[in-house]
Amino acid sequence: MGKLRPGEAEQLAPVHTGRRHPLRGLLLLLWTLLNCGLGDNAQGPGEWTPWGSWSRCSSSCGQGLSVRSRRCIRFPGEELCWGHTHEYRLCQLPDCPLGAVPFRDLQCALYNGHPVLGTQKTYLWVPFYGAPNQCDLNCLAEGHDFYHSFGRVLDGTPCSQGSPGLCVAGRCLSAGCDGLLGSGAREDRCGRCGGANDSCLFVQRVFRDAGAFAGYWNVTLIPEGARHIRAAHRSRNHLALMGGDGRYVLNGNWAVSPPGTYEAAGTRVVYTRATGREETLSAAGPTSQDLLLQVLLQEPNPGIEFEFWLPQELYSPFQAQARALGWPLWQPQPREVAPRPPEPPAAPTVILHQTPTPTSDPCPPCPDTRGRAHRLLHYCGSDFVFRARVRGRLRQAQETRYEVHVQLIYKNRSPLRALEYVWAPSRCPCPVLALHREYLLAARRLISPDGTQDRLLLPHAGYARPWSPAEDSRVRLAAQHCPV
């Protein structure tokens, strides 16, 4: 950006002294011609002198401009130097006293009482901000309805009120993160000016775990020092954020916070909730303390995308902490969100691929639940009918929890995830599901009266048949016979 004064350069005079040798000029001309004649302008550009020192700040208070320059030294035949002859940087002096006359006002006021516009009339001039080029000195004749442009404003004049740009040579430039005007230098994701994103790691993941009932679930720790944090999902669930002190920043204690900007961990967290049920959190960081991202589940979690950038030295501690909490390990820099094959939730009670408990099972035999009427009754009366493979089983005092991998959905009232828990209301469920087998299941959604639990229920003597092509067509047929 910002070629300020291109091509401004000096030629080194071939002879510095006043007296020239008559032959000397001829020789030089010959030399130049020879070079040109050979089609050889390949002498390249000239050479810059070192930069001069920075000038004093253009203003005496507040923000101003300081400039330094260099010259291009070149011999005949050499091209212009590449680059700029001048560099401008911001200088920041203590704030101006209240009531100080702004720089632009001063420049307009210089024309007060002087005849302008070719007549003897004089006016009082004040800045006018409505003209097209904000780096022209556009001044309004006070008490009149016209303005006049008195050429460019002086370098270092703010482009407009309250904007960060300054006028330089008639153009509005803003400072890069290196303080140079028009350099275009920007902070990288790691917060380094002009960096290449290489001093930090990008953590990006889709959180698909979380349990089968409503409540708060940990999604991820966002360590102190994280930048460019973002989380988003689309469901009736709510993202919740907890500060390092254990207090909620938003959506805590079962209360949903309004969308808006929240101050937390030394940064501003922007929270949005759209009508399309999309919810997002974002913060520029860097954060000054750990944050805990949670989700308040009300329905099955369709996936929560989150990402942030972490200084390299903080990555290992972050991993160690996640490991200590029993969370899955996250590899750095998976730049594309590759929806991982779902993993079993990390709840400590999960027993996967447990072999069926042998013999001595005191469970009574199950009632016979075959028949078309039974199938129809459960198909029509259920919230979900799906085909699933049993991956795990956990027997508890009052209930049995199956972990199933959903293969195909025939009917659902709300989204089903690939992995679900299905609960049966007894230690001796009927019908019994065997591990690693595939079934057609009809389940109900059960929400506890206080709203804290939301489960898939396989009722006693409900519908659960080993999957087969024949059963599949019977189920499809049942679908056509439900009362509307």
Ligand X SMILES: *[C@@H]1O[C@H](CO)[C@@H](O)[C@H](O)[C@H]1NC(C)=O
Residues 6+ apart with CB under 8 A from 18: none
State the nearest-atom distance from the C-beta of 248 to ligand X, in Å: 13
Q: Which is nearer to ligand X, 201 or 292 (CB)?
A: 292
> CB 305 → ligand X: shortest distance, Å?
15
Nearer to ligand X, 199 or 412 (CB): 199
| Options 49, 163, 197, 396; binder of ligand X; rule CB under 6 A | 197
* Least distance in angstroms from the C-beta of 453 to ligand X: 15
Exposed / middle / buried, residue 251 (Cβ in 10 Å: 0-12, 13-18, 19+)? buried
State which amino acid sits at residue 195: G
Q: Do the Cβ atoms of 375 and 463 come closer than 8 Å?
A: yes
| 178 lines the binding site for ligand X (CB under 6 A) | no
- DSSP secondary structure string for all residues of 335-352: -S---PPP-----TT--B
Where on the phi/psi map is residue 68: left (φ > 0), alpha (ψ -120 to 50), or beta? beta
Number of residues that bind ligand X (CB under 6 A): 8
Q: Which is nearer to ligand X, 57 or 190 (CB)?
A: 190
- Which of 59, 218 has the CB closer to ligand X? 218
In whole angstroms, how close is the CB of 216 to ligand X at the nearest point?
Answer: 7
Cα R_g (the chain), whole angstroms: 37
State the Cα–Cα distance between residues 9 and 454, nearest whole angstrom. Answer: 76
Compare residues 110 and 325 and give the one whose CB is closer to ligand X: 325
Q: Tell me, what DSSP letter sits at residue 36?
A: H
431: left (phi over 0), alpha (psi -120 to 50) or beta: beta
Exposure string of 448-473, with b = 16+ CB inside 10 Å and e = fewer, is eeeeeebbbbbbeebbbbebeeeeee
Minimum CB distance to ligand X, residue 281 (Å): 17
**Mutual orientation of helices 469-479 and 372-381 as an angle, nearest 10°?**
60
Member of 93, 110, 255, 325 binding ligand X (CB under 6 A): 325
Give the up-direction half-sphere exposure of residue 94: CA atoms within 13 A in the CB hemisphere. Answer: 2
Token output for 407: 């293969």
Neighbour order of strands in the sheet with 125-127: 125-127, 136-141, 147-152
List the strands of the sheet with 215-222, edge to edge: 215-222, 291-297, 238-242, 248-250
Considering the rule CB under 6 A, would residue 354 count as an interface residue with ligand X?
Answer: no
Give whichever of 243 and 259 is closer to ligand X, judged by the CB atom.
Answer: 243
Q: Which long-range contacts (CB under 8 A, 24 or more apart) does 30-33 make?
A: 31/76, 32/76, 32/77
CA angle 399, 400, 401 (to 5 degrees): 125
CB of 181 to ligand X, least distance (A): 21
Q: Is residue 196 near ligand X by the rule CB under 6 A?
A: yes
Residues 24-53, interacting with ligand X (CB under 6 A): none
- The stretch near ligand X (CB under 6 A) out of 10-18, 41-49, 189-197, 458-466 is 189-197
- Contact pattern for ligand X over residues 134 through 173, marking x by CB under 6 A: ----------------------------------------
Nearer Cβ to ligand X (412/453): 453
| 258-287 residues near ligand X, rule: CB under 6 A | none
| Minimum separation from the CB atom of position 325 to ligand X (A) | 5
Choice between 292 and 464, CB closer to ligand X = 292
Check binding of 188 to ligand X (CB under 6 A): yes
| Closer of 46 and 223 to ligand X (Cβ) | 223
Is residue 292 near ligand X by the rule CB under 6 A? yes
The yes or no reply on residue 218 touching ligand X (CB under 6 A) is yes
In whole angstroms, the minimum distance from the beta carbon of 170 to ligand X comes to 31
Task: Locate 16 and state its tokens.
Answer: 């510095």
- E strands, 237-382, in order: 238-242, 248-250, 260-264, 267-273, 278-283, 291-297, 304-311
189 binding ligand X? (CB under 6 A): yes
Stretch touching ligand X by CB under 6 A, among 144-152, 188-196, 374-382, 421-429: 188-196
Nearest distance in Å: CB 361, ligand X: 32
203 part of the interface to ligand X, by CB under 6 A: no
Q: Which residues bind ligand X (CB under 6 A)?
A: 188-189, 196-197, 218, 221, 292, 325
